[in-house]
Structure 1
Amino acid sequence: MGNSKIKNDLANLINNKKFLNAVVIALILAFVLLAISFLSTTRKKDTKESLSTNVSNSNSLEEGAKNTIDNYEENEKQELTKLLGTIENVGQVEVMIYFKTGEVKVPAIEESIQEAVTEETDSQGGKRSTTQQTGGSKVVMSGDSGKNEPYILQVNKPEINGVLIVAEGATSAKVKYDIQVAVSSLYGISLDKVNVYPMKN
């Protein structure tokens, strides 16, 4: 008796449309919740990976810029030392260059201007025209080899603020002046920014 009653109750439940609808709705809700949970976890992972990639790219760019400036400074010192050493009576030379700014990269800029003209007529037949301009500019990006970076039009080398030179022949006023004129002409800086001192014996 007990078994047949349970079977009848189950059969009634299965045949009951309200019960079946409730079960279907519960299954759909469970599936939707699982899908949302999975998607949000994936997005969090992608965001974390993207942030860590951006930070590492930023660090590598800063490091690359510093290395470029250091290399430029070292090359300039070596070239200037070599050049000054070839001037008559200058002798041995030590050079120190002071930079006002770092290397400046000039990106390509795209400018867009939009103009909208509005004409209004009032109740007495008078007309009024309004012109409104909106514009903006954005940096042009280039996507070479999978990297999305600004398109650089030109690179301005670091600006030199002053030069300090210690030379063996700088005890002579003529040699000192020759060095000042040569460096001033070479870097386009004024004579007062080129300091020349005699080397200690």
Structure 2
Amino acid sequence: MGKGDIKKDIAKIVNDKKFLNVVVVVLILAFVLLAISFITNSRKKESAEDKSTKVSSNASSELEKNAETTINNYEENEKAQLKKLLSSIDNVGEVDVMIYFKSGEVKVPATEETTQETVTEETDSQGGKRTNETQNGGSKVVMAGDGSKNEPYILQVNKPEITGVLIVADGASSAKVKYDIQVAVSSLYGISIDKVNVYPMKS
């Protein structure tokens, strides 16, 4: 079979309406499959992003809840200890206390300092040379985890700062008892005496 016969056969097949119909159907099917694949991938991506956002939002909400619980527990613990301590002072009697905080618990993460130095040399048209040195510094938080969960590596945890204390005591009608309470609380929390308000309890 010569080249001319092959060309005639190919031309005959191409001009055949059935062949053209088959080609058109195949192209349409390929286009539909591509469209379906694209839509499916887009939905999967959106679903993954929504899931990631939801997890991030849940984690943030959980951290806020835990921080609030920690502060409340710390406050209640401090109040209980202070009441017990003050009640043991001579002539103080029954005590009720309220503690004021400036802020919540502060966690101090470990940071890694980075410094980058760049030296550039410039030569002007007259042959003179000039050297420029530029230093860029920064820091990033050191992360730690077991592979499944990464969190900042905490160096220390600073308890909420106490800004004032209100005390109501049975024996506070006595100037000496009132002063003893103020001195004890001032020394305990490292605040000035004027931040410790003491009042006698209603009989």
2:61 to 59, 62, 68: 59
- For 1:132 and 1:42, locate their aligned partners in 2 and report how far apart those are by CA, in whole Å: 46
Alpha-carbon shift at residue 30 of structure 1 (Å)? 4.1
For 2:135 and 2:75, locate their aligned partners in 1 and report how far apart those are by CA, in whole Å.
46
Matched length: 192
Matched-pair contact (CA < 8 Å) for 2:106–2:160: yes
Please name the residue that 2:37 is paired with: 35
1:40 corresponds to which letter in structure 2?
A: S
1:192 aligned residue (184, 194, 200): 194
SS at match of 2:91: coil
Asked whether the equivalents of residues 14 and 20 of structure 1 are also in contact (C-alpha less than 8 Å), the reply is no
| Corresponding residue of 1:6 | none
**In structure 2, do the counterparts of structure 1 residues 14 and 108 end up closer, same or farther at CA, with 3 Å as the change threshold?**
farther
Note if 1:88 corresponds to 2:90: yes
Partner of residue 4, structure 2: none
Matched with 2:6 is none
CA contact (8 A) 2:13 2:19 kept: no
**Native 8 Å contact 2:79 2:97 kept in 1:** yes
* Structure 1: runs of 5+ lacking an equivalent: 1-9
SS in 2 for 1:94: strand
Counterpart for residue 141 of structure 2? 139
Normalization by structure 1: what TM-score? 0.85
Identity %: 60
Residue pair 2:95, 2:169 contacting (<8 A) in 1 also? yes
